[in-house]
Amino acid sequence: MRKILSVLLLASLALTVGCGSKGKKKLAYVERPAEKIYLQGYDRLQRKDWARAVLFFDEVERQHPYSVWARRAMLMAAYANYQAKKYNDAIDVAQRYIALHPGSRSAPYAYYLIGVSHYDQILDVGRDQSETKLALDALRQVVRRFPNSAYARDARLKIDLTLDQLAGKDMTIGRWYLKRGYNLAAISRFHHVIDNYQTTTHTPEALHRLVEAYVRLGVMDEAVQVAAVLGYNYPGSQWYADSYRLLAKYGAANAMVSADDDAKKKHKHKGSFFSRTWRRLF
């Protein structure tokens, strides 16, 4: 009896769900109105049954590919895939939506969904950051194309976090080089942080690490100038205090203070002092 019940259960499942030619699950083809299939998918979405919701939304497209419901279902399928953490599927569907409906009112959301799908796959700074770069590019597209949208506001916040992540990766590598005495390689990494991620939380440390690297190379003038930039922009930071102690150890603290004072006297209200000083020095 148990074996018969199992066979009947499997048979009922086969009637409900089939497989596509590439192994992708599909609902068994039963012709129904587009709205009815869509609402079934929406019901599954409300229950957070993401996988089944995708099946119903895909079915809308399969049976009624040129309908208004198909367009809606495509975006809902992308959203359901995102919620199911099937990020690559979400990106693929959202990209297809943009290709087919670039002028749609929902296009900003499709762009945003691509960005957050990459963003949610960002790994810690010790790992490969290719997803971080993809997230940054996609989120910048949202801001560039739809600057006044609600999606752009959230994208800007996430852009700041992705920049901080990329800066953190460079800092991790730079510290590794510095610890092992590869001072020129370390300097290159810290310069990259300051040149490209100036607004991130890593900038004060990057400046201090440059001071360290220049001191190790015996290039005291450059160390003093970088320390002056650090002191002017982050006077109360621990990194400034560390740079001051380091230069004091080599008798260059007075030169650092003098350079800092000169910088303040020359400061004009045209752009950020940090940017202008950095360009002038390097």
Question: Which tokens belong to 67?
Answer: 């309908």
Strand-pairing partners, residue 19, are 25
| Consecutive H or E run containing 18 | strand 17-19
pLDDT digits (tens, 9 = 90+) for 256-282: 655 555 555 555 444 444 554 444 455
pLDDT at 210: 97
Enclosing H/E stretch for 14: helix 2-16
pLDDT (average), residues 169-191: 96
pLDDT computed for residue 223 by the predictor? 94
Helices (H), 64-202: 68-83, 87-100, 107-119, 130-145, 150-179, 183-196
- In which element (H, E) is residue 258 found? helix 253-266
Reported as a single tens digit per residue, the pLDDT across 59-81 is 999 899 889 999 999 999 999 99
Task: With beta carbons less than 8 A apart as the criterion, state whether 41 and 53 touch.
Answer: yes
Q: What mean pLDDT is predicted for residues 242-269?
A: 68
- Rounded to two decimals, what is the model's pTM? 0.77
Q: What is the pLDDT of residue 15?
A: 36
Residue 209 CB neighbour total at 10 angstroms? 25
At 236 the three-state DSSP class reads coil
Q: How far apart are CA 190 and CA 196, in angstroms?
A: 10
**In angstroms, rounded to a whole number, what is the distance separating the alpha carbons of residues 183 and 178?**
5
| Cα gap 228→235, rounded to integer Å | 9
- State the Cα–Cα distance between residues 192 and 188, nearest whole angstrom: 6
Domains of the chain: 9-96 (1.25.40), 202-282 (no CATH)
pLDDT tens across 68-115, in order? 999 999 999 999 999 999 999 999 999 999 999 999 999 999 999 999
Q: Which of 22, 17, 44, 156 is nearest to 89 (CA)?
A: 22
On the 0-12 / 13-18 / 19+ scale of CB atoms within 10 A, 211 is buried
Tens digit of each residue's pLDDT (9 = 90 or more) over 109-139: 999 999 999 999 998 877 889 999 999 999 9
